[in-house]
Amino acid sequence: MTTVSRGGAPGPADGGQPARSRVERLPGTARPPGSPLSREVLDGFADAFVVTDRAGLVTLVNAVTATLLPEVVPGTDLTACPVPALARAARAGAGGFDTEHGGRRLHGVRRDLADGRHAWYVRDVTEEHARVEALRVERSRTVFLARAGSRLGLSLQREQALRTATTLPVPHLADLALVAHLPFPPTGARPHWIRYAGSAPAPATGPLTGTLPGLAEALGGQPVDPAPWPDGEPGLAALLPPGFGRPGTVLASPLRGPGRTVGALVLVRRTGRAGFTRPDVELAREFAARAGAALGAAELYGEQVHLARVLQNSLLPPELPTVPGAALAGGYRAAGDRLRIGGDFYDVFPVPAGAIFALGDVAGKGVGAAVLTGRVRQSLRTLRLVEQRPLELMRLLNQALLDAPDAARRSQFATLLLGTLDAAPGGGCTVRIAGGGHPSPLLLRAGGAVASVAVGGMPVGALAAARFAEATFRLAPGELLLAYTDGVVEAHGGPGGREMFGEQRLRAALASAAGLPPDALVDRLLRTVDEWLDGQSQDDIAMLAVAAAPP
């Protein structure tokens, strides 16, 4: 057994007998107090253990040292040993070092002993470092996917979703990202691409010519492995921005949307960057799955917006025709005013004798009410070809709504004013108007007096035996007829925000507008109601003003 003498060097004791070692408690060790500092004791350490004398020469090593630091043996000058990091730490008197040596990652710590000697503990931290690195990579992956999910979730427009899917992977996943996307709606046209590199101020776009490794498979919905960038392929130079450099590795992943593949994500790394590892491929495919879902959702949203726009265009108030003996103007506000469609409506249909006008309010709000509005208006446009008398026309409309599929289950109905305008020989026009449970229209006389035109009746489409009423009168020059929906009088606002606008305020506002042409009068009334609401939510509102023209 080799021991350490009091002077610090191993050797025999007096009289040729082994000297008893001075007992030392080594800092940071788990050695029991009183055990000798010996090779047998140190061999029990899990770490490499090196002891040097005051001159820096190695005097003692344990068995683990032979595995981790085979170059360090007794007698080695530690300041010049073949382990550079350890030699530098020994020369500088540093308290430790970190290095990679022999395929391992090592962490060393120095402890001072008596008589100027030192002990070096060297631990293999390869697995610990690998766990830390794996945790760092996983955290980076989680942060990237969380950021990507947040950004992609906000991309409701298709072009915005394409830009987000292209810009987010750079530089985390690649030096260049390209999305090859199929046209929407599908037309069979060639795919286009949108490309982004870190040095570019914004993504670029263009038609897809040529092919890349795995692109056809990715567009077909199949995942592929990374592949080298093909040299000499025609058409591929346009995919790279100027000054990008030599591409190295390409990874293509499908972008899957609801029910179909909407495109492919192509990631390109330069030659100087390491290729795609298996975790890189998994992360790229996870991102592509999220980007594909976002792009598919954006396409569905775009399709819904398109359908809503078509519906909106078909239901928005029409351009009013010229009617002999009368001047007309309409006003409209939809509840919420998002799609600008709702359940209140007005319409005017020219007929040989003059015109048929209608103003109504269907049950419900929003798109459901708008669909019924469209059914009522289209039914009126058709039925007026066979019947132009208001009362008879309303009866036909009532039967048509009741005959519609599932009419009883939907319980949808409408209140309606339906009238005709016929030019009178002495100026103005004759008005014949039928009521279907709608608020009575108001008649503004030339002197500013306001009166109601009582028509009454029952809602249209509610009962097969519904009864309707009719009134006939002459609208003289200077007079005006105002038909409106209940959203006007039921508008809640005012000083407390809860008071109804009411018919009396409407009458007063109408009287104050006497003498104005119909379009100016309607604008003033709508502005008055808007001021009463003061930005609060509202019901649908529709108005139709008919003024008698002078001879």
Q: Give me the mean pLDDT over the 79-88 stretch.
A: 94
Say which residues have a Cβ less than 8 Å from residue 363's Cβ, sequence separation at least 6.
343, 369, 372, 411, 412, 413, 414
Number of H helices, E strands in the chain: 13, 23
Residue 463 phi/psi, 5-degree rounding, is: -135, 145
Q: Which residues contact 214 (CB under 8 A, 6 or more apart)?
A: 224, 225, 227, 250, 251, 252
As given in the structure block, the two tokens for residue 477 are: 């020059």
Work out the average pLDDT over 378-384. Answer: 91
Half-sphere exposure of 257 (CA within 13 A, CB side): 21
SS3 499: strand
The closest of 59, 71, 46 to 122, measured between CA atoms, is: 46
With 0-12 CB in 10 A as exposed, 13-18 as middle and 19+ as buried, what is 311? middle
Closest residue by Cα to residue 347 from 327, 319, 366: 319
- Residue 8: predicted pLDDT: 37
User: If you search the block for the tokens 């109504």, which residue do you land on?
Assistant: 360
pTM beyond cutoff 0.75: no
With 50 as the cut, is the pLDDT of residue 354 above it? Answer: yes
What mean pLDDT do residues 455-474 have?
A: 92
pLDDT in tens, 224-238: 999 998 876 656 777
- Is 411 in contact with 461 (CB distance < 8 Å)? no
Average pLDDT value over all residues in the chain: 84
pLDDT at 352: 86
pLDDT score of 187: 59
Q: Is 115 left (phi over 0), alpha (psi -120 to 50) or beta?
A: left
**pLDDT of res. 31:** 44
CA–CA dist 73, 81 (Å, integer): 10
Q: C-alpha angle 544/548/550, rounded to 5°?
A: 150
Paired residues of 544 in beta bridges: 330, 483
Residue 178 and residue 166: Cα distance in Å, rounded?
6
3-state secondary structure of 266: strand
3-class secondary structure, 136: helix
pLDDT digits (tens, 9 = 90+) for 394-404: 999 999 988 87
Q: What's residue 34's pLDDT?
A: 40
Distance CA 244, CA 18 (A): 74
* pLDDT tens-digit map of 408-450: 446 678 999 999 999 888 788 999 999 999 999 999 998 899 9
Residue 515 φ/ψ region, left for φ over 0, alpha for ψ in the -120 to 50 degree band, beta for the rest: left
Place of tokens 């009091």: 6
What pLDDT is recorded for position 259? 80
Cβ neighbours of residue 127 closer than 8 Å, sequence gap 6 or more? none
The answer to whether residue 28 scores a pLDDT higher than 60 is: no
Pairing verdict, β 227-228 and 247-257: antiparallel
Instruction: Characterize 482-514 residue by residue with b for buried, 16 or more Cβ atoms within 10 angstroms of its Cβ, and e for exposed.
Output: bbbbbbbbebbbbeeeeeebebebbbebbeebb
Question: What per-residue confidence (pLDDT) applies to 44?
Answer: 56
Query: Quick one: average pLDDT of 127-153?
Result: 84
Cα separation of 81 and 461, whole Å? 100
Burial class of residue 549 in the structure, from the number of CB atoms within 10 Å of its CB (0-12 exposed, 13-18 middle, 19+ buried): middle
Structure tokens at 203: 């993504």
Reported in sequence order, the residue ranges of 84-229 that DSSP labels E, i.e. its strands, are 96-101, 104-112, 118-124, 176-181, 192-197, 204-207, 227-228
CB contact set of 337 (below 8 Å; sequence gap of 6+) = none
Over residues 83-96, the mean pLDDT reads: 94
